Structure 1
Amino acid sequence: MARPRTFDEAKVLSAVVDAFWVRGYEGTSTRDLVRCTGLNQPSLYNAFGDKRCLYRRALTHYLECSVRERIRRLEGLPDAATAITLFFTEVLDRSLNDPLHRGCLLVNSALEAHTDDADLRQAIAEEFETIRSFFESRLQVFSLQGDGVREIDAKQGAHHLLSLLLGVRVLARLNPDPACVTDAVDLALNSLGLTPLALATLTKSPCTESP
């Protein structure tokens, strides 16, 4: 009969997220994972599987407390234009105020994923599609709210916003210059007729993480 777990799974996964987020998959050793979680290797791997399985669980935990939570919350806003702007406002706030310049674990995973890890690459692609679909659906609603997109197709606009998001995440990690990334976002929002960053009010995620 299996012993009941004596640890908080969410806290352990949060600690694992922090380890992988700072060091990356390849740079994080089993010793690092043992040290940050307080669990010995057998307990850690018995609960979550090997290092690769643990990384996937950690990535899912990260996404639930960041991208997925943000999309669920912002989809409920009545103003579709503000929903998109707030998405970028929150991303910029977290990216530019992170003293470790960790960027986004999802984007970091995409840059680090090996070509032979088809499952991980597919999972990352699906998350990117979720973000793109959010942008497209909000642009479609925006176009019906009176002052929507007139000359730019919602699908094209969504592709543009996703590309911008990925670029901003990388820039904020390598060169966290607020003017550089803020100007890029404002230019894109303005081209689509969306709410400027300065007019959006930052909302706080109920999650304890700040990705």
Structure 2
Amino acid sequence: MARLKAFDETRALDAAVDCFWLRGYEATSVRDLADAMGIGGTSLYNAYGDKRALFSRSLQRYAERSMRERIARLEANHRPKEAIRAFLAEIIDRSLKDPDRKGCLLVNSALDVAPHDAEIGKVVGGYLDELRAFFRRNIEAARAAGQVARTIDAEETSGHLLGVLAGIRVLARTGAKRKLLEAVARPALDLLEGRR
């Protein structure tokens, strides 16, 4: 019979997410992770393998508790065009309320880790594809419902919105104010209104 883990895995994984998110992959040591997670280094290796494997699990946990939760909630509570608007508004609000200006773990990882690790790059790319799919799905639904012009190209516009989202997250890390972040989002949202 396998030995039961002697720690709360959800809490420990959330702590690992927060540690990687605050410090970045390279600057986070195994000791930092073990301390944050409240477990010993041996337990960390036994449970997760190594730092890189724990980082992959942390990205998955971040995607579940942040990105996927937000997408599901907004799609359940808003019409398609409003879901997109609410998504960007929430990202701006969260970015400005974060005293550490951590940005987005996925965007940070795309910039810092993916260029040096093809496998992690694919993982991060998959999560970014989920974000683009959210935008595309809602543009298509808004088009079908007559909320946006039928001439809007869902594929092209969803890619544009993903780029806007990444830009907002990067700018927020530099201390950008609300006025700038909203100005970055506005032209993309104007596309949904048929304005250029």
* Residues 177 and 35 of structure 1, relative CA distance in 2, 3 Å threshold: same
Which residue of structure 2 lines up, in the alignment, with residue 109 of structure 1? 109
Do structure 1's residue 91 and structure 2's residue 79 form an aligned pair? no
> Contact between 1:80 and 1:139, CA under 8 Å: does it hold in 2?
yes
Query: Could you state the TM-score of these two structures normalised by the residue count of structure 2?
Result: 0.93
The letter for the 2-side match of 1:178 is: R
Gaps of 5+ in 1: 195-211
Which protein, 1 or 2, shows the higher relative CO under an 8 Å CA cutoff with sep ≥ 6?
Answer: 1
Q: CA deviation at 1:75?
A: 2.5
CA deviation profile, 1:158-180 (whole Å, cap 9, x unmatched): 11101100111100111331110
Q: CA deviation at 1:190?
A: 1.7
Q: Distance in 1 between matches of 2:138 and 2:74?
A: 10
Which residue of structure 2 lines up, in the alignment, with residue 158 of structure 1? 158
CA deviation profile, 1:65-87 (whole Å, cap 9, x unmatched): 01111122222245111111111
Runs of 4+ in 1 over 4 A off after TM superposition: none
Q: CA deviation at 1:115?
A: 3.8
Q: CA deviation at 1:187?
A: 2.6
Q: CA deviation at 1:181?
A: 0.4
Residue identity (%): 44
Give the stretch that moved more between structures: 86-95 or 75-84. Answer: 75-84
The letter for the 2-side match of 1:2 is: A
Query: Could you state the TM-score of these two structures normalised by the residue count of structure 1?
Result: 0.86
> Contact between 1:84 and 1:138, CA under 8 Å: does it hold in 2?
yes
Q: Distance in 2 between matches of 1:179 and 1:78?
A: 25
Q: Distance in 2 between matches of 1:155 and 1:149?
A: 14
* Residues 179 and 116 of structure 1, relative CA distance in 2, 3 Å threshold: closer
Q: CA deviation at 1:116?
A: 4.8
Which residue of structure 1 lines up, in the alignment, with residue 144 of structure 2? 144
Q: Distance in 1 between matches of 2:117 and 2:74?
A: 32
Q: Distance in 2 between matches of 1:115 and 1:85?
A: 31
Q: Give the alignment of 1:1-211 within 5 angstroms.
A: 1-77=1-77, 79-193=79-193
CA deviation profile, 1:23-42 (whole Å, cap 9, x unmatched): 10100111211211121100
Q: Distance in 2 between matches of 1:129 and 1:9?
A: 27
Q: Distance in 1 between matches of 2:77 and 2:154?
A: 18
> Contact between 1:168 and 1:181, CA under 8 Å: does it hold in 2?
yes
